[in-house]
Structure formats: structure tokens, C-alpha cells
Amino acid sequence: MAAKVELTTRELKPGFGAEILGVDLAQADAETLKAVTEVFQNSGAILLRGQKMGPGDLMAFINQFGEPEGHTLGEYTLPGYPKIYVLSNRIVDGRPIGAHNDGVVWHTDYSYRQEPVMCTMLYAVEVPPVGSDTLLADIVAAYNALPEARREALDDLVVHHSFQYFMESRVYGKAETSPELFAQNPDVFHPLIRRHPQDGRKALWVSTGTVKGIVGMPEPEGAQLVDELVAFATQDEFVFRHRWEVGDVLMWDNRCTLHTGTLFDDTKYIRQMHRLWVKGDRPLAANGQPVFAPAA
Ligand code: SIN
């Protein structure tokens, strides 16, 4: 049954996302929260400004969307809250309290797992006056903008994702790894074109970072195709740029968006975000089926 509360919203950009106005998430009743989740499901991304949320409020809110997901690198979770990951450049007693520049490439979260996260939520605790914007790309619109013959040519392609490759090749947000961590995160294979389980929309679910290649395509052609498609999907016409204010909550559906963080002057400013994830499903290809690892 649809929620009874009608919310005031405005699009983040034409045809994509919604800013929800006049809702205090920490105080909202069950019907209002249900209406917020419905706006999220129909929009691909939501923004609520001016929130005041402690860790308990964040956990209560994320639970509205599904089961919270854990984090591969445990050292930067908030003490007492293993599902809240801290993004920060703050150093306390000589030790960083969070991951710095963690997502500064176009990507979709947890793509190195068989079941990548459904959605990502960021809550702004402290933000610089300039820089560190988060960009979201509407990759359903990008897919639909491709010529039909190109869409058909891409529909069956399979992408090789690798956590080890990601950690060893990343430029920003480098972190400690170990052979055990790599063994716990073996390579996975996902469709290039992802069908949304809710309504069948197809998304150009390309990514960088974890992408090691395209199955059956030699290098450098595979990498060139990935670069070309990322450049296509992240053109201004498909991208919403979010300029942060303290108290902002931004959430996006990883099944139909790509995102990237951006740099800021970290010698002058502190940025601190709390990030929460919701567990997701095995991605479906354009034909509605999951893809499998190629025969060795
Ligand atoms: C992320 O990729 O999860 C974080 C993006 C950001 O910090 O803006």
C-alpha cells in the first residue's frame, strides 16, 4: 500500500532524483519515513538538508531501506556502530579517524562483491566551504541516450571486477591490505548493462576502480571501451553535482547511478561524513538473468 503522507519534493535535475523538503528525519513518524523510502525508490536519489542525526538516528533511518551492509575495511567504523563508516581527513592522537578521499573515481559501491550494495547514504558532519562535492550520474538516462544498435551490442557484455586490482591500482584513498583480505574478496563478474529489479529499467552500469576488463575482449580494447563508456555516462547532461552543507543526507540507488567524490584543500579544511550501506542483490543483466564467471 502506498504511503499516506504526501511529501513536498523537487527534482535534483530534470528527470532524476528528488530533494525532499520539510522533513526532520530524526523526528519523523512511520508514515512519513515510508513516504521518504517511496520517493527514493521512484527517483534514484534523494537529498534532505538541515538534518540533525546522531548514530542511532542514522541506523534507525537506514533500516527503513533494508538490512545495513558491513564494511570491508573495519578500522574506520564509528566506535560502537560497525555499520557506520567514517570518511574523514581528521587526525586524532596521531591516527586518522576515517578513510580520506575514499571514492574519488566514478564507480558504484561494493562492485567487487557478488552482491553489491543496493544504496549508499552519506550524512555530512563537517564540510569544507569549497570542494569535496559528490557527483551522481543517471546511468539509465545514459543507456537510453545510446543509439539502439549500440545498446544491443553492449547488452550481453560481462565485466570482470577485482578487489585486489582496485586496491593495488587506486590513486586516492590507498589503504592497508593483506593476502587474507584479497582471499576474502575474490574476483567477480557482473553485467555491463544492469536491469533494475524493481521495474526493469536498464542502466549503463560501467565503473572504474574495480574493473579489470571485459570478458572475451583483449586489452587494450576492453579498457578503452570502459573509458569511453564512463566518459559518455558522466557527461554533464547526466550528472547531478551536490555541494555539501552540514546536515545534508544524500542517498543514491547504486543499481541505476554511478558516483564520485571530488578533492578539496585538505591542508586547510576538514571533511567528515558518515556513510551507511544497504545490502543488495546479485545484479541482473539486460536479459533479466545474473551472469556467471567465464569457464577457466
Ligand atoms: C563514496 O564513494 O562512497 C564517497 C563519495 C564522497 O565522499 O563524496
* Among protein residues, the one whose CA lies closest to atom 6 of ligand 1: 261
Show Cβ contacts of residue 22 under 8 Å, excluding neighbours closer than 6 positions.
Answer: 7, 8
259 in contact with ligand 1, CB cutoff 6 A: yes
CB atoms under 10 Å from CB of 156, counted, come to 15
CA of 207 to the centre of ligand 1 (A): 14
Query: Are 131 and 265 contacting, i.e. CB atoms less than 8 angstroms apart?
Result: yes
- 68, 78, 113, 220, 226 from 214: Cα distances, Å: 30, 37, 17, 10, 8
CA of 87 to the centre of ligand 1 (A): 8
Place of cell 578487489: 163
Element at 227 (helix H, strand E)? helix 221-233
What domain range is 41 assigned to?
Answer: 8-278
Q: Is residue 111 part of a domain?
A: yes
Low-confidence spans in the chain with pLDDT less than 50? none
pLDDT tens for 122-149 read 999 999 999 999 999 999 999 999 999 9
Phi first, then psi, for residue 211 (nearest 5°) are -80, 120
Identify which of 118, 134, 208, 254 to mutate to test ligand 1's pocket (most ligand atoms within 8 A of the CB).
134
Q: Is residue 102 part of a domain?
A: yes
125 in contact with ligand 1, CB cutoff 6 A: no
Half-sphere exposure of 155 (CA within 13 A, CB side): 14
What does the pLDDT read at residue 116?
Answer: 97
271 in contact with ligand 1, CB cutoff 6 A: no
Instruction: Work out how many domains the chain is built from and give that number.
Output: 1
CA of 14 to the centre of ligand 1 (A): 23
What does the pLDDT read at residue 7?
Answer: 97
102 in contact with ligand 1, CB cutoff 6 A: yes
What does the pLDDT read at residue 24?
Answer: 98
Q: Is residue 283 part of a domain?
A: no
The closest-lying atom of ligand 1 relative to the alpha carbon of residue 132 is: 8
What does the pLDDT read at residue 3?
Answer: 67
- 53: domain CATH number? 3.60.130.10
Q: Is residue 290 part of a domain?
A: no
* pTM of the shown model: 0.95
Query: Are 99 and 175 contacting, i.e. CB atoms less than 8 angstroms apart?
Result: yes
Q: Is residue 284 part of a domain?
A: no
Q: Is residue 286 part of a domain?
A: no
What does the pLDDT read at residue 1?
Answer: 67
CA angle 10, 108, 278 (to 5 degrees): 75
Sign of the alpha-carbon torsion through 38, 11, 119, 188: positive
Q: Is residue 145 part of a domain?
A: yes
